[in-house]
Amino acid sequence: MEEEKQRGKGNRIILMPSPFQGHITPLLQLANILYSKGFSITIVHTVFNSPDPSSYPHFSFLPLHGALSETEASKVDAVHLTEVINVRCVQPLKECLTLLLSHDKVKEDGCVSCFIVDAALYFTQGVCDEVGVPRIVLRTGGASSFLVFASFPLLREKGYFPVQESRSEEVVVDLPPLKVKDLPVFQSKEPEAFYKLVCRFVDECKKSSGIIWNTFEELESSALTKLRQDFSVPIYPIGPFHKYSLAGSNSTSLLTPDKTCISWLDKQEQKSVVYVSFGSIVAISEEEFLEIAWGLVNSNQPFLWAIRPGTIRGSEWLEPLPSGFLENLGKRGYIVKWAPQEQVLKHPAVGAFWTHNGWNSTLESVCEGVPMICMPSFGDQKINAKYASDVWKVGLQLENKLERGEIEKVIRKLMLGDEANEIRENVMNLKEKANVCLKKGGSSYCFLDSLVSEILSLKS
């Protein structure tokens, strides 16, 4: 009830996501956490990949019209699109914030405490400074990968960029245990654009009033300690967001999850199923797709595969599969376009998660105690995969060529091999730590308390 009193006083927080699934989900989860602490919530968003307001009747939503159309957005990659948003949204956001901070609006809706925004939207620091509202950043990725991003200028100075394949097995001197092959890259027509974007968003984070992480102290303590030394702004690791028990579970999915896979899982043996999903952006070639398909079939383990339409370059969905493949699969495999991933990872039948190691997937796997087969593609994914396999030791990397025999071997090793028990034990330990950190007195619980106090002390 304390929360309702506070909401009555009109402590409003405005939040803005970067319009990609892996970024929208944690931002909306954070908004729900802050709502549970008594704040009123306004979500400002692009029209492209707009969140569904009907899933959040307790929030207000404000689209930034005129900033970016769906058609424009579909033509460029994620880095380019983020750049476009950083330019095009300046004016619409300025107008929107000016309105929300206006005397009449504040009288009607209550005062605004702060603006919380995805780190990738670096342009917002300038806008917030201009309109006079404190800016807190949400970094949706892990702290360990952020530390690497923050080291980009140093890595360039030391000759690690552009990444040279001939040096791939070399350990990066300042960032062990990373090797050159684990450094983040983004396959783009302009690799320099990724470097510039990262440097900009790290710089603007340093000017913010604080950085929130969807991670927890026990998982990334060394990276968080280092970040506290290098950054003078407060750091709040208050994750894992999706494990907070909050009233009402609102959907954050842009695609509709196919829940029929849960009844299929119900029929499988405990810890027997390999769940396969490469998130919302990664695309693969037809050749890679076929190797994955045959590798899964030949492993003889049951599998659930979420194949997002458009995952296979040049195909709409499953066209490259040889005729008869699906019919012969019988009960051994189940394919959906989009899975209810959190529910799947929780299911007792799931024994491994073959993932691209997007941060949300990595964290969700850790929280459910599911060992991982790591196949990172771009950006932070390689770093997350390295931590999963070599630091936390909760997974195995598919390092060699993506080939059916290799896939079969890795699946067997993770499900049945000598290492399997040790990996399972490690991930169960982390799962336990993830549970404890959210309980009263736990690390994330305490950091959330200090974040709430900090927000209440901010004035726009």
306 binds ligand UDX (CB under 6 A): yes
Q: Do the Cβ atoms of 43 and 252 come closer than 8 Å?
A: no
As measured in angstroms, the least distance from the Cβ of 265 to ligand UDX is 14
Instruction: Pick the closest to residue 82 from 115, 122, 117 (CA basis).
Output: 122
Name the one range near ligand UDX by CB under 6 A: 59-67, 146-154, 278-286, 413-421: 278-286
Among residues 209 and 361, whose Cβ is nearest to ligand UDX? Answer: 361
Phi/psi of residue 372, nearest 5 degrees: -115, 145
As measured in angstroms, the least distance from the Cβ of 129 to ligand UDX is 27
As measured in angstroms, the least distance from the Cβ of 96 to ligand UDX is 25
Site string for ligand UDX, 319-338 (x = CB under 6 A): -------------------x
As measured in angstroms, the least distance from the Cβ of 69 to ligand UDX is 22
Locate tokens 């024994």: which residue? Answer: 351
As measured in angstroms, the least distance from the Cβ of 254 to ligand UDX is 9
**DSSP bridge pairs for 333:** 303
Q: Do the Cβ atoms of 145 and 167 come closer than 8 Å?
A: no
Q: Binding to ligand UDX (CB under 6 A): which residues in 90-129?
A: none
As measured in angstroms, the least distance from the Cβ of 106 to ligand UDX is 34
CA–CA separation, 90 and 306 (whole Å): 37
> Hey, is 52 helix, strand or coil?
coil
Tell me how far apart the 2 most distant CA atoms of the chain are, in Å: 67
Among residues 105 and 181, whose Cβ is nearest to ligand UDX? Answer: 181
Locate tokens 């959330």: which residue? Answer: 448
Among residues 161 and 186, whose Cβ is nearest to ligand UDX? Answer: 186
20 binds ligand UDX (CB under 6 A): yes
Q: Binding to ligand UDX (CB under 6 A): which residues in 178-237?
A: none
As measured in angstroms, the least distance from the Cβ of 185 to ligand UDX is 12
Number of Cβ within a 10 Å radius of residue 300: 12
As measured in angstroms, the least distance from the Cβ of 354 to ligand UDX is 12
Please, what's the b/e burial string for 108-143 (b: 16 or more CB within 10 A of its CB; e: otherwise)? eebebbbbbbbbbbbbbbebbeebebbbbbbbbbbb
Q: Binding to ligand UDX (CB under 6 A): which residues in 350-379?
A: 358-361, 364, 379
Number of Cβ within a 10 Å radius of residue 435: 13
82 binds ligand UDX (CB under 6 A): no
CA–CA separation, 193 and 191 (whole Å): 5
Which residues, other chains included, contact 335 with Cβ-Cβ below 8 Å and sequence gap of 6+? 304, 305, 306, 307, 318, 326
Among 136, 175, 312, 339, binds ligand UDX (CB under 6 A): 339
As measured in angstroms, the least distance from the Cβ of 103 to ligand UDX is 38
253 binds ligand UDX (CB under 6 A): yes
CA–CA separation, 19 and 338 (whole Å): 18
Among residues 100 and 339, whose Cβ is nearest to ligand UDX? Answer: 339
Phi/psi of residue 12, nearest 5 degrees: -100, 140
Structure-derived torsion over alpha carbons of residues 375, 376, 382, 386, reported in degrees to the nearest 10: -20
* Peptide bond connecting 162 to the previous residue in cis, omega within 30 degrees of 0: yes
387 binds ligand UDX (CB under 6 A): no
Ordered strands of the 60-64 beta sheet: 60-64, 40-46, 12-16, 112-118, 135-139, 211-213, 235-237
As measured in angstroms, the least distance from the Cβ of 104 to ligand UDX is 38
3-class SS letters over 346-399: HCCCEEEEEECCCHHHHHHHHHHCCCEEECCCCCCHHHHHHHHHHHCCCEEECC
Name the one range near ligand UDX by CB under 6 A: 17-25, 182-190, 388-396, 422-430: 17-25
Among 22, 351, 369, 371, binds ligand UDX (CB under 6 A): 22
25 binds ligand UDX (CB under 6 A): yes
Q: Do the Cβ atoms of 212 and 240 come closer than 8 Å?
A: no
Number of Cβ within a 10 Å radius of residue 421: 10
Among residues 282 and 366, whose Cβ is nearest to ligand UDX? Answer: 282
Among 12, 380, 397, 415, binds ligand UDX (CB under 6 A): 380
Number of residues that bind ligand UDX (CB under 6 A): 27
Among residues 131 and 336, whose Cβ is nearest to ligand UDX? Answer: 336
Among residues 22 and 333, whose Cβ is nearest to ligand UDX? Answer: 22
Among residues 79 and 306, whose Cβ is nearest to ligand UDX? Answer: 306
240 binds ligand UDX (CB under 6 A): no
Among residues 141 and 239, whose Cβ is nearest to ligand UDX? Answer: 141
Among residues 77 and 95, whose Cβ is nearest to ligand UDX? Answer: 77
Binding site for ligand UDX (CB under 6 A): 20-23, 25, 140-141, 253, 257, 277, 279-282, 306, 338-339, 341-342, 358-361, 364, 379-381
